[in-house]
């Protein structure tokens, strides 16, 4: 059986460079978040030449190379690109398996193609050319085993198309591949290097039981996979026909009720298709095209997968109301009539998941807080105001107070688990942007506060608590104070040395 490996090296980094093509001649890294405490995940060769390696903090990387360009690549963007490439590769073979553990690696079935392509070398070259037209560079290796083709695809720093003719040739060429090309754990790799083991062949020559005892379960599993003991057959991703309906209107429509009637009819028909598959609706996507050429795409997700049409239609109505209101506002600003921005084409596409069945409890226990109802309420808020409308604060490793937390979308709700405390904690509310307090610049940090103390506005101060740093981007030197005012407020303020001014960071309640 013939199998091919398509490897897109540093796939998230390629996505970042495709978004910023002007960075191609600079050192570039992908970070988990664009902040000083962010961690470098991938780096190109120019960045690696400056020792900017995965695992470094972004601030440390900038100290090694001040010209470093970095950015985030969200997981959703990576998954979307993988799905898109899967469809592109499916044109050349129906059997395409994207790797579940390493983004940018695909295995393709290469057997039985002789009647469609003149040779496997031509086929591999065409597959590589198709990936290049999509904006990526990739190595394509056609061989006989999953791990053997993967090792050869990762071995060449200059990606190209390669076809091995025999299994013995594949084993021989794979045996000289360096371990640092195969994603081996750095600690394991360094220990193996001290033992004189630096290639795949030398690693496979070690006894499997000894590898497990000395280097752990993960290295032992890799040893078994590379030796063929755990060789898995190709597991291609099944192609799924989209469950979608398109409606072309004879005239531009901007009435909400008439549009909802069309969408309702389409959703009812598509839901029956899902029901026949034994699935329930997970997401619904609606694309609208207006008669002025503008297009909009909306994606909705109920609180949990369902076929409850009442809940689904309510979410669609909330989102569509906001879309039409925004279009009407644009029409008024431009002086055009509302009719000029009517919908001429609409497409409804739904995605489903396998339905799960659970046995109801004999005695229905009603909790004090209905989390399912709360999830439905949050879904309605997201439908009306957008996917980023419901967020929660998460702690981050940051230098400044405003960098010590971030906002993440709320995916699910959990029951609160309060604990008894002797004294209830005070709540410190932090402003997203510090509010200027002093209208003039003063070199004396206490002059402005003393003026307010003399006037009776400020009753008490506690501080200073000094925070300094930020040399990797912009120097920061702040002197923080807790200030109690005459009207009972407890303000959290700081004096900014470089800007010579007072700012209110937050308030304690």
| Residues 228-252 pLDDT 10s | 888 788 888 877 777 889 999 888 8
pLDDT at residue 359, rounded to an integer:
60
Q: Which of 170, 155, 122 is nearest to 1 (CA)?
A: 170
pLDDT at residue 34, rounded to an integer:
81
Evaluate if residue 473 carries a pLDDT over 90. Answer: no
**Mean pLDDT in residue range 264-284:** 88
pLDDT at residue 453, rounded to an integer:
54
Q: Which stretch of 145-159, 390-404, 436-450 has the lowest confidence by average pLDDT?
A: 436-450
Residue 119 structure tokens = 């040779």
Instruction: For the beta carbon of residue 311, count every other beta carbon within 10 angstroms.
Output: 16
Q: What percent of the chain has pLDDT over 90?
A: 17
Q: Which stretch of 19-28, 275-284, 402-411 has the lowest confidence by average pLDDT?
A: 402-411
Query: What span, in angstroms and rounded, lies between the C-alpha atoms of 386 and 381?
Result: 8
pLDDT at residue 255, rounded to an integer:
87
Pick the more confident residue, 472 or 171.
171
Q: Which helix (H) or strand (E) holds 194?
A: helix 186-194
Evaluate if residue 357 carries a pLDDT over 60. Answer: yes
Q: Phi and psi for 22 in degrees, rounded to 5?
A: -70, -10
**Mean pLDDT in residue range 324-351:** 77
Query: Do 3 and 107 meet the contact criterion of CB atoms below 8 Å apart?
Result: yes
Query: What span, in angstroms and rounded, lies between the C-alpha atoms of 47 and 171?
Result: 33
> Where are the strands (E) in 35-127, listed by range?
40-43, 69-71, 96-98, 105-109
DSSP per position, 247-268? EEEEEEE--HHHHHHHHHHHHH
Instruction: For the beta carbon of residue 432, count every other beta carbon within 10 angstroms.
Output: 6
Residue 168 structure tokens = 């013995």
Evaluate if residue 126 carries a pLDDT over 90. Answer: yes
Residue 335 Ramachandran class (φ > 0 left, ψ -120 to 50 alpha, else beta): left
Evaluate if residue 108 carries a pLDDT over 90. Answer: yes
Q: Phi and psi for 197 in degrees, rounded to 5?
A: -105, 110
47: which residues sit within 8 A by CB, 6+ positions away? 27, 28, 29, 61, 65, 68
Query: Do 298 and 319 meet the contact criterion of CB atoms below 8 Å apart?
Result: yes
Evaluate if residue 310 carries a pLDDT over 50. Answer: yes
Pick the more confident residue, 437 or 343.
343
pLDDT at residue 120, rounded to an integer:
92
Residue 4 — very low, low, confident or very high, per pLDDT cuts 50/70/90?
A: very high
pLDDT at residue 158, rounded to an integer:
74
Q: Max Cα separation, the chain?
A: 93
Tell me: the pLDDT tens digits for 67-82? 899 999 988 889 889 9
**Mean pLDDT in residue range 188-211:** 88
pLDDT at residue 29, rounded to an integer:
92
Query: What span, in angstroms and rounded, lies between the C-alpha atoms of 472 and 394?
Result: 24
pLDDT at residue 471, rounded to an integer:
64
Evaluate if residue 338 carries a pLDDT over 50. Answer: no
Query: Do 289 and 297 meet the contact criterion of CB atoms below 8 Å apart?
Result: no
What is the length of the chain?
A: 509
Instruction: For the beta carbon of residue 46, count every other beta carbon within 10 angstroms.
Output: 19
Query: Do 278 and 354 meet the contact criterion of CB atoms below 8 Å apart?
Result: yes
Evaluate if residue 446 carries a pLDDT over 80. Answer: no
pLDDT at residue 303, rounded to an integer:
85
The secondary structure of residue 404, as a DSSP letter, is S
**Most confident region among 136-140, 230-234, 363-367 by mean pLDDT:** 136-140
Q: Phi and psi for 38 in degrees, rounded to 5?
A: -65, 155
**Mean pLDDT in residue range 4-28:** 90
Residue 52 — very low, low, confident or very high, per pLDDT cuts 50/70/90?
A: confident
Residue 502 structure tokens = 């007072």
Average pLDDT, the chain: 84
Residue 440 — very low, low, confident or very high, per pLDDT cuts 50/70/90?
A: low
Q: Which stretch of 44-58, 381-395, 461-475 has the lowest confidence by average pLDDT?
A: 461-475
pLDDT at residue 358, rounded to an integer:
62
Q: 3-class SS at 378?
A: helix
Domains assigned to the chain = 1-174 (3.40.1170.60), 244-357+364-382 (3.30.1490.100), 428-508 (no CATH)
Instruction: For the beta carbon of residue 183, count every other beta carbon within 10 angstroms.
Output: 13
The secondary structure of residue 445, as a DSSP letter, is T
Residue 208 structure tokens = 């499997």
The secondary structure of residue 500, as a DSSP letter, is T
């Amino acid at each position: 059986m013939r199998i091919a490996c398509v490897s897109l090296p540093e796939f998230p980094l390629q996505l970042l460079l495709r978004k910023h093509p002007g960075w191609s001649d600079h050192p570039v890294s992908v970070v988990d978040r664009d902040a000083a405490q962010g961690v470098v995940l991938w780096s190109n060769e120019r960045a690696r030449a400056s020792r900017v390696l995965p695992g470094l903090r972004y601030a440390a990387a900038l100290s090694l190379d001040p010209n470093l360009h970095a950015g985030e690549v969200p997981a959703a963007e990576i998954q979307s690109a993988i799905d898109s490439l899967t469809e592109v590769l499916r044109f050349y073979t129906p059997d395409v398996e994207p790797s579940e553990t390493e983004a940018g690696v695909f295995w393709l079935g290469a057997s039985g193609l002789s009647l469609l392509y003149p040779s496997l070398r031509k086929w591999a070259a065409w597959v590589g050319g198709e990936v290049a037209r999509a904006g990526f560079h990739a190595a394509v290796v056609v061989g006989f085993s999953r791990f053997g083709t993967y090792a050869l695809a990762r071995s060449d720093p200059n990606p190209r198309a390669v076809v091995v003719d025999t299994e013995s040739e594949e084993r021989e060429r794979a045996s000289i591949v360096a371990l640092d090309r195969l994603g081996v754990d750095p600690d394991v790799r360094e220990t193996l290097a001290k033992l004189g083991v630096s290639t795949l062949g030398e690693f496979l020559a070690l006894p499997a039981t000894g590898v497990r005892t000395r280097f752990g379960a993960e290295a032992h599993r890799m040893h078994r996979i590379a030796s063929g003991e755990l060789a898995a057959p190709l597991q291609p991703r099944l192609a799924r026909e989209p469950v979608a309906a398109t409606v072309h209107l004879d005239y531009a429509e901007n009435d909400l009720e008439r549009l909802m009637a069309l969408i309702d009819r389409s959703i009812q028909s598509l839901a029956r298709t899902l029901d026949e598959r034994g699935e329930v609706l997970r997401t619904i996507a609606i694309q609208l095209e207006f008669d002025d050429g503008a297009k909009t795409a909306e994606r909705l997700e109920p609180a949990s997968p369902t076929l409850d049409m009442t809940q689904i239609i309510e979410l669609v109505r909330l989102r569509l109301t906001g879309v039409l209101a925004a279009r009407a506002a644009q029409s008024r600003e431009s002086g055009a009539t509302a009719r000029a921005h009517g919908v001429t084409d609409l497409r409804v596409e739904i995605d489903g998941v396998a339905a799960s069945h659970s046995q109801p409890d004999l005695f229905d226990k009603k909790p004090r807080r209905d989390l399912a109802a709360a999830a439905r309420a949050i879904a309605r808020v997201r439908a009306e105001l957008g996917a980023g409308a419901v967020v929660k604060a998460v702690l981050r490793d940051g230098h400044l107070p405003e960098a010590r937390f971030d906002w993440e979308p709320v995916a699910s709700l959990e029951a609160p688990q309060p604990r008894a405390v002797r004294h209830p904690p005070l709540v410190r509310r932090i402003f997203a942007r510090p509010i200027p307090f002093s209208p003039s610049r003063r070199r004396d940090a206490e002059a402005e506060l003393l003026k307010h103390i003399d006037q009776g506005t400020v009753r008490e101060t506690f501080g200073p608590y000094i925070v300094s740093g930020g040399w990797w981007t912009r120097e920061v030197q702040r002197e923080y104070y807790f200030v109690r005012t005459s009207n009972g407020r407890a303000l959290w303020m700081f004096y900014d040395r470089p800007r010579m001014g007072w700012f209110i960071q937050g308030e304690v309640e």
